[in-house]
Amino acid sequence: MSKTVLLTLGRMPKSLDLARGFHALGWRVVVAEPFAWHLCRASRTVSKSLRVRAPARDPDGYLDDLRKVIERERIDLVVPVSEETLHVAGLTEGLAAGVRLYAPPRAALLELHDKLMFARKMRALALPVPETHPADSDAGKTLAADRAYVLKPANSCAGLGVSMHAAGTPLPERGARRDLVVQERLDGRLLSSFSMLRAGRVLVTSVYRGVVMSGTVAVCFERLAEHAGIADFVASFARKTGYSGFASFDFVEDDDGRVQAIECNPRVTSGIHFLEAEDVARAIAEPDADRPVRFRPQTLMQQFYPCLIEWQAAMFNGRERGMKWRAMREARDVTWDPRDPLVFPTMTFTSYPILVPAVFKGKSMGETTTEDILWSGAGS
C-alpha cells in the first residue's frame, strides 16, 4: 500500500516540484491550501486538494484543519513548503503516532527566520554576516548614522517592507516599529543558495542568481558552478548546528569573492528547481538512505508568466527589454512537463487569487502570494 504525503501549500512552483517528486516515488500526494484554486490543483500528480484556513489570519484554526486532514487522509508525512512552515511547525506537539513532520521545531526555525536572531546566531558561530541591530537601539542608530544601511522587518519575506538608505538617513522614531532591524548595506553581487541538510551534513546545495527580477524576487534564475565561499558557509553552519531540513541563504559577494549572509529562509526556495524532483522527495521520504540528490541538466529556469509581465513592463527600455527577452527565450519554465501537461496552460486561471490583487489593487506578486501565510512574529 502506498504512503501519503501532505504538502501544506499548493500555489507555488516549488510545491509542484515536490508533488511530482513524491508521485514519481509512488506516493499519494494530498495538498492543503487556503486558496480554492492553485497551481497544483491542475497537476495529475496530486490525488486531492483540500482547502484550509489561512494561517496568518487564523493560526489555531489552520492547525486544527491540518490535524483533521492528517487524520482523515491517513497522512504518513507532512512537508511544509514556504512561509507557512513556521505555522506548520506548531503541529509538532500532539502529532499522531506514525506521522512524521519534515521540519525542525519552531524554536530552531525562528532562530533562522528572524533576521536579528539569525545575525546574532551566525556571529556566535563565527560565520560572516553584516552588522545588524534592532532599529530602536542605540547601536542601530549609530550604524545608520555612519554607514549606508538596510531597514527591514525582523519577520518578513519576498522583500516586503525592505528599504535602502544612505548613511545619516534618520531611523523611525524609537518604538514606532519595534520589530524593525537595521543592517549594514553591503556592496556586491547578490547570490542565493538552497540546501538540504541532515543531522549536520549537507546533502546538496544549489547556488543561483536572479536574472530577471519582479521587485526583489527572482522570476528567472541561473544556477552557478559551485561557489567555494558559500559551500564553506553552508557546511560550517550544518556542522556547528546539527541542523536537519531545508535551509536557504541570501549572500552578498564582494569583488574578491568573499560572501556574507544577509538572511536565511528555513524553507524551500527557487533553488529547488535545479534539482531532480524525485531525488529531493526520496531524500525527504527515506532519511536513512544515502543516495545523492542530482542536479537537473538545465541551469537557466524561469517562471514564464511573471517573466512575461516584466518583459512587457520593459517595453520602452531597449536594453532591459532585450535582456529579458533573451532570458525568456533561453530559460526553461519551472512548471512545464509533458507528462503533466495541464499545469502550464491553466496557470492564468489557477493563479487568479494571486493575479487579481496584483493587477487591480497594485500589490506586488510577492505580497499577494504570501500575505495570508506569513509568519509575522511570536503573536502569529
Determine the Cα angle at 113 with ends 187 and 14, to 5°: 90
Q: What is the pTM of this model?
A: 0.92
Question: Does 329 map to a domain?
Answer: no
Cell numbers found for residue 80: 511544509
Note whether 259 and 237 are within 8 A (CB): no
Question: Does 249 map to a domain?
Answer: no
Tell me what pLDDT residue 362 has: 66
Positive or negative torsion for Cα 313, 318, 320, 322: positive
Question: Does 151 map to a domain?
Answer: yes
Note whether 370 and 83 are within 8 A (CB): yes
Question: Does 178 map to a domain?
Answer: yes
- 298 vs 295: CA distance, rounded Å: 8
Tell me what pLDDT residue 314 has: 64
Question: Does 171 map to a domain?
Answer: yes
Establish how many alpha carbons lie within 13 A of residue 135's alpha carbon, considering only the half-sphere containing its beta carbon.
24
**What is the 8-class DSSP label of residue 286?**
-
Cell numbers found for residue 144: 545608520
- 47 vs 65: CA distance, rounded Å: 18
Ordered per-residue pLDDT tens for the chain, 380 residues: 689 999 999 999 999 999 999 999 999 999 999 999 999 999 999 999 999 999 999 999 999 999 999 999 999 999 999 999 999 999 988 788 899 999 999 999 999 999 999 999 999 999 999 999 999 899 999 999 999 999 999 887 767 788 899 999 988 876 555 689 999 999 999 999 999 999 999 999 999 998 777 777 788 889 998 899 999 999 999 999 999 999 999 999 999 999 999 999 999 999 999 999 999 999 999 988 889 999 999 999 888 777 777 767 666 666 677 777 677 778 888 999 999 999 989 988 888 788 777 666 666 667 778 889 998 775 45
Question: Does 42 map to a domain?
Answer: no
Which domain covers residue 153, as residue numbers? 131-184
Question: Does 168 map to a domain?
Answer: yes
Determine the Cα angle at 373 with ends 22 and 246, to 5°: 45
Closest CA to 158 of 214, 220, 209, 216: 216
141: exposed, middle or buried (Cβ count in 10 Å: 0-12, 13-18, 19+): middle
Tell me what pLDDT residue 80 has: 98
Tell me what pLDDT residue 174 has: 60
Helix H or strand E segment including 183: strand 180-184
The count of domains in the chain is 1
Question: Does 173 map to a domain?
Answer: yes
